Structure 1
Amino acid sequence: MVYSLKCFPPGTDHKMIVSSPLLPYPKIIKKTPERDYLSRMVPPTYEFHKRAKYDLENTFHMLVMEADIRTGVAHKNACSRLGAVCYQLGHVLYEIENGLGVSVLAFEKALEAIEDHVIDPDNVLTAINSLNMLAFLEANHNKNTERALEFLDRADSIYKTYRDKEPKMPDPTGVDVLLEDCTEDNRTWEERSYKRNPMVNARLYTLFYYIEIYRILKLTEEEIFYSHAALKHQIDNDIYMQCPLDWVQTCIQMSEWLLNANAFQQAKHHMEAASMFLEEVIPKNLSYYNGSQELKQYLADVSYSWSRYGMRLLKKSKTRLMKKKTHRLPPSSFNDLLFDKFEEKLGGQDTPVYVDNFKDAEELTKNIIKWINETKLFYTFDMSNNFYGYLSIDKCQAYKNLAFFQDNSLETEKLLKIGVVDMEILVVKLDDLSLRRQMWYELSNMYRFMMEIQYEQYVLIKKEVPKTGAKLINKYSNTSISYYLKFIESFTTTIGPSEVQKKAILLSNLYLAKCYDKQIVYLKQVKIRNLLEGEKYYKRIINYCESDYALAAMIPYELSYARNMLKLLPTKIKNLSKLSKTSKCYV
């Protein structure tokens, strides 16, 4: 989470992790600690030096006596100052002494002091900030998220009541005005920036804590909603330039969440906003970022996010046509997750139509490859060889999905060939075993697809296999077999594969048998040997599944196919052995 605040210690190395739909592999884009400015922000306090505790305690006792003896407006003013002092004292106790119990009492006392006049310019900030801090302490120290949400809901209600009250309420009184004669201001410039718009920032922290609590509760829909609310709040109040790169990073993360919910319109909108910030807003307003490595990294991150958008849209379009299914719609609450202020600058607000023909799919794939190449300009092989490898897998999958839309089988084969080029170069250079497994599995599948195209072309359609065709079919088959074997054998030295990997291993055994069966050979003994090899892998699948019913449930149709083939193979081998005449070739 970008807006982690105190839930992560200062300098936390945040990571963006995206999982592959086939074999789970982490895609990690590291963020330097210097970029996490919001992560180092805490709900603003007026003073942090050690004398603050003693100054505030003295002021507290003085204001308690003043509130007791005053009446009317003077009593109200004393209570307002007392509330502000209690909030500041609670924060100082927490920051300096980590006095959790005492600081909670101070925040509660702040609310008690102003309870009769909460919706008042002098009190509203004290109320919201105290409730924010109580929510923070409940969630992070007491692990009581339910109680924390109660505090945040109260802060949310107070903010909205004050905002919507008629006639319009004046700007809230800042603590520097209420306590100007009580403390010394030693804050940095960044800390003073809070002073310029205290109500806006108090609201922002309420939203931040909502995000953190829903993240802890794993309620993704609510987390998305409040993350967007935090982004929109900064735009609507013109404070997004305080931390523009964090704003961009959250947009990138938001787009990933929205894509997973099939909210293509909103995901595209957030990526367009991120792109606009990096290409227009930041260069214009923060010239010191121009040409910096930091800006280049964010541009690469946005390009990668765009590629994920294109990949998911292409894959969903493929499965929609292949399975004749309608994908689940995003929650209706996502309909409003747009930035009204930027709507005129951001195009493409209509929900995209799934691509349903080769021309549109090809155009989308060209953009995917462009975005992947832009990402690689920053994340080079030397900088991050694993991530570079995962980008090559994405490129391969893009061509594989595009091939589905191509009606011409030979053109389909060309697309598959293009898809494997980068991976075949990289797979021998990488040390990471999990990454090489992913590549072996992808490469074996791609070559198997090419083999099946050629097999269908010559054996099933033309009914005649020239030597050039046989050579090509066998080449693809042998290459596929070699990668499947590397994938399967790589697990012999590990503790045990994941559930997804177990399924991939089972399918690899099935495809190995098919690859041996479809080889074109000119000697009867070689054909029999290939059939016996296939029989070995069919038996292995059945033995695995009979020893573990969970495995059988993973591949019910494939298991049935393996059993049927195992019954037919002995007869096929017996009939082949009886043949006296030498055949031109054996298929």
Structure 2
Amino acid sequence: MTEVSEDILIELREKCEKVQNLLEGESKRDPETEPYKSVYAAREILSDMKSCLANLKDSIRSSDPLHDQIEAMYGGVLLLLGTLALDTEELATGEEHLMNCLSCLEDQAMQPKKVLVVLKALNQLGLLWSQRSDGNKSHGYLQQAEQLYNDYTDQVGEQPVDVYALFTVPDSGPATTKADSPLEKVHTLTLYYLAQVYGAMDNPLKSAIYCHNTLKRQLESKDYDKVEWALNSATLAQFFMEQNAFRQARHHLSAASYVLDKHDQDLQGIESSEDERLFRKEHLKHRSADVARCWTKYGLMLLSASRDRLMEAEEGQSGDATPRRLRPPGELSGLQFSLLELSMYEDQVTDSFVLTFDDARSVFLNSQQWLTQAKLYYTLDDHASDHVQIIKDYSELYRNLAFFEDDEERQCKMHKRRVDLLEGVVKELNPTYFLTACQELWFELGETYTHMVDIKLAKLEANSDAPSAHALQKVNHLAEQAIAAYNSFLDTLRDHKTKEIPDKFSKELERPGLLIYFYLAGLYRRLVAADKATKLTNLTNSLQYYQKVVDYCQRHEGAKDSVTAELSACQDIVALLPLKMAKLAETVAR
């Protein structure tokens, strides 16, 4: 057994300082042709340190006051070697170093000099197995890290020693608060990795909870990128919307807007070059537009869920005021950022289901404001695909608002506004470059015109007076516009040479294509005919499209599952409609 000389400790300290300088300083200046130049240099030094510390560890007395220190240093070097191996994609080597680190230290992991090394090793192993797509193993290591943090903070509580500090002479240095201590930062990383792993393991609820906790800890530490934080909070809000947790969604969107507004204020006081200032402003404008789009989605989904709630109550599907499927999971309650005062943002829009047109209009107007802000960045010229999606959201807002309107004429005006929005953008797009966008817009235009047809026909049927010629012409005009929109979609499917619709649609277009046949059949039946001959022609066209659905599903058995309800209706109509047409044909022939 030997004692450790001061010279050896000084040499280890100097080597550690070189490693830290290489990894935190020199590596930023590595040439593109040698991106790991500094990493490899640091690894050489660490390998020497590992050999030296291994000899010391084996030869030093366990009673020596430096025994635990040397052991912690050895584990720290193994951690650094393992981390660098993962950085250079040498996964097997990295795993070996990290497992050796755990073998060396995990029995004494509750010691202040060793706990951070063990926590970081567990995090790295969790990350490694996540990269290998083994969620269970990744989760196991990260759960160990979470438990170790909880045990240490409950039972020890002393500020632990970070890896590089193991080799340096202790000094007072700047005081760290609990929130920004190395231990807290490492634990925040553990929670972040767990959020990703739960997502990969198809447990989105737990993933969301861990995402929230990560964001909350970042706020408390004040060590985060404000723009990235805001975007993550807004993205998490979208998950809450999908769970009908509108209170949590609104809160996280409000937090995102609050942080972006604070960042905008901070930028005013930052001295920087003109290029850097412009870059930061553009980056902020971009991400502010993204958050604005999330606010728009909030209004959309709140109106949609409110509509579903009222429809289910009307159909008697639930005796409860809110059906079970529209209730948020209990685990999400209480997920809030207590450090932020957000009432100014939250008070702008409700988080409750809406019941009346006035309530719905208030949500609509709030979403409209955010949508207008998003359009300032996502213009048609510079961001065509995003702009189209924003216009579709705008159309959907009007569709949801129309549900809460009792007056048919005002409903029609809202759908007409949708038509104006959709036609306004589709005429500006070249289908050669924006085929999918054009198809989506034409499909929605067909649906919108059909809504208007149904409203007009329902109004005529409710009126005991004979309809005017103008009213009938209006119905036909709207139906013809719907037919034209659907045909524009079908035309994009035609073969360039033969101009024929293909025998089989592509997988992603099979359901839309068959639905268009079904909708066209219904539209031809809705056309109001001035005489029986015209009516027979309309019914012939209608039957033709119903038959197309039936024939297609007979030729392609797999298509039946995508249009089960529509196919059943088509089969019934194909069986019955010819009889009606035959009787009509007899009267025409007389």
Band of TM-score, shorter chain: 0.7 to 0.9
1:482 aligns to what? Answer: 484
Change beyond 3 A, Cα 1:53–1:518: closer
Aligned partner letter, 2:71: C
| Preserved CA contact (<8 Å) 2:357 2:405 | yes
Local SS of the residue matching 2:493: helix
Which of 198, 219, 225 is the aligned partner of 1:235? 219
2:469 aligns to what? Answer: 467
Which of 433, 446, 453 is the aligned partner of 1:451? 453
Q: Does 1:536 align with 2:544?
A: yes
Which of 137, 161, 166 is the aligned partner of 1:147? 137
1:85 aligns to what? Answer: 77
Q: Which deviates more, 374-383 or 274-283?
A: 274-283
| Preserved CA contact (<8 Å) 1:145 1:213 | yes
1:90-109, Cα deviation, whole Å (9 max, x unpaired)? 3344446x543333332233
| Preserved CA contact (<8 Å) 2:450 2:478 | yes
Number of residue pairs the alignment of both structures matches: 521
Change beyond 3 A, Cα 1:245–1:125: same
2:206 aligns to what? Answer: 222
| Preserved CA contact (<8 Å) 1:273 1:346 | no
Q: Does 1:53 align with 2:43?
A: yes
Where do residues 286-297 of structure 1 align in structure 2 (5 Å cutoff)?
A: 287-288=269-270, 292-297=281-286
1:322 aligns to what? Answer: 311
1:383-425, Cα deviation, whole Å (9 max, x unpaired)? 1112111211111121112111111111111111011112102
Aligned partner letter, 1:376: K
Structure 1 residue 351: deviation in Å?
A: 8.5
Aligned partner letter, 2:530: Y
1:264 aligns to what? Answer: 246
1:136 aligns to what? Answer: 127
Change beyond 3 A, Cα 1:580–1:116: closer
Q: Does 1:202 align with 2:190?
A: no
1:15 aligns to what? Answer: none
User: Where do 5+ consecutive residues of structure 1 fail to align?
Assistant: 1-46, 182-194, 583-587
Structure 1 residue 234: deviation in Å?
A: 0.8
Change beyond 3 A, Cα 1:497–1:282: farther
Structure 1 residue 581: deviation in Å?
A: 12
1:443-479, Cα deviation, whole Å (9 max, x unpaired)? 1111111122222323552441222112211110110
Q: Does 1:107 align with 2:101?
A: no
1:242-278, Cα deviation, whole Å (9 max, x unpaired)? x122111211221122222222121111111101001
1:146-195, Cα deviation, whole Å (9 max, x unpaired)? 222221111111111112225xx2222123321238xxxxxxxxxxxxx9
Where do residues 160-199 of structure 1 align in structure 2 (5 Å cutoff)?
A: 160-165=150-155, 169-180=157-168, 197-199=181-183
2:16 aligns to what? Answer: none
Q: Which deviates more, 327-336 or 489-498?
A: 489-498
Which of 214, 230, 242 is the aligned partner of 1:248? 230
Identify which of structures 1 and 2 has the higher relative contact order when contacts are C-alpha pairs closer than 8 Å and 6+ apart: 1
User: Where do 5+ consecutive residues of structure 2 fail to align?
Assistant: 1-36, 170-178, 271-276, 318-322, 496-501
2:18 aligns to what? Answer: none
Change beyond 3 A, Cα 1:497–1:337: farther
Which of 304, 324, 330 is the aligned partner of 1:332? 330
Aligned partner letter, 1:179: F
Aligned partner letter, 1:306: W
Q: TM-score when scaled to structure 2?
A: 0.80
**Counterparts of 1:425 and 1:537, CA distance in 2:** 29
| Preserved CA contact (<8 Å) 1:318 1:404 | yes
CA RMSD of aligned residues (A): 3.2
1:310 aligns to what? Answer: 299
Change beyond 3 A, Cα 1:116–1:545: closer
**Counterparts of 2:86 and 2:578, CA distance in 1:** 78
| Preserved CA contact (<8 Å) 2:254 2:342 | no
**Counterparts of 1:165 and 1:391, CA distance in 2:** 53
**Counterparts of 2:534 and 2:522, CA distance in 1:** 15
1:300 aligns to what? Answer: 289
1:267-294, Cα deviation, whole Å (9 max, x unpaired)? 1111111010011255237744697111
1:486-532, Cα deviation, whole Å (9 max, x unpaired)? 22343344896566743333332232222222223323322221121
| Preserved CA contact (<8 Å) 2:246 2:352 | no
Aligned partner letter, 1:385: A
**Counterparts of 1:495 and 1:109, CA distance in 2:** 62
Change beyond 3 A, Cα 1:346–1:233: farther
Q: Which deviates more, 395-404 or 59-68?
A: 59-68
| Preserved CA contact (<8 Å) 1:399 1:415 | yes
**Counterparts of 2:110 and 2:362, CA distance in 1:** 56
Aligned partner letter, 1:174: D
2:365 aligns to what? Answer: 366
Q: Does 1:213 align with 2:205?
A: no
1:520 aligns to what? Answer: 528
**Counterparts of 2:542 and 2:575, CA distance in 1:** 12
Structure 1 residue 321: deviation in Å?
A: 1.8
Change beyond 3 A, Cα 1:180–1:54: farther
Structure 1 residue 138: deviation in Å?
A: 2.6
Change beyond 3 A, Cα 1:572–1:143: closer
Change beyond 3 A, Cα 1:314–1:126: same
| Preserved CA contact (<8 Å) 1:451 1:473 | yes
Aligned partner letter, 1:377: L
Q: TM-score when scaled to structure 1?
A: 0.81
Q: Does 1:126 align with 2:117?
A: yes
Q: Which deviates more, 442-451 or 101-110?
A: 101-110
Q: Which deviates more, 430-439 or 350-359?
A: 350-359
1:406 aligns to what? Answer: 405
1:391 aligns to what? Answer: 390
Q: Which deviates more, 400-409 or 492-501?
A: 492-501
**Counterparts of 1:498 and 1:199, CA distance in 2:** 54
**Counterparts of 2:52 and 2:41, CA distance in 1:** 17
1:372-391, Cα deviation, whole Å (9 max, x unpaired)? 11111000011111211121
Structure 1 residue 347: deviation in Å?
A: 6.2
**Counterparts of 2:370 and 2:85, CA distance in 1:** 50
Aligned partner letter, 1:171: Q
1:420-440, Cα deviation, whole Å (9 max, x unpaired)? 112102112213111111111
Change beyond 3 A, Cα 1:501–1:363: farther
Aligned partner letter, 2:527: Q
Change beyond 3 A, Cα 1:521–1:545: same
1:50-74, Cα deviation, whole Å (9 max, x unpaired)? 4433332333333333333232432
Aligned partner letter, 2:219: I
Local SS of the residue matching 1:148: helix
| Preserved CA contact (<8 Å) 2:429 2:438 | yes
Which of 41, 56, 60 is the aligned partner of 1:66? 56
Change beyond 3 A, Cα 1:396–1:229: same
Which of 434, 439, 442 is the aligned partner of 1:440? 442
**Counterparts of 1:102 and 1:553, CA distance in 2:** 50
| Preserved CA contact (<8 Å) 1:386 1:430 | no
| Preserved CA contact (<8 Å) 1:513 1:538 | yes
Q: Which deviates more, 294-303 or 384-393?
A: 384-393
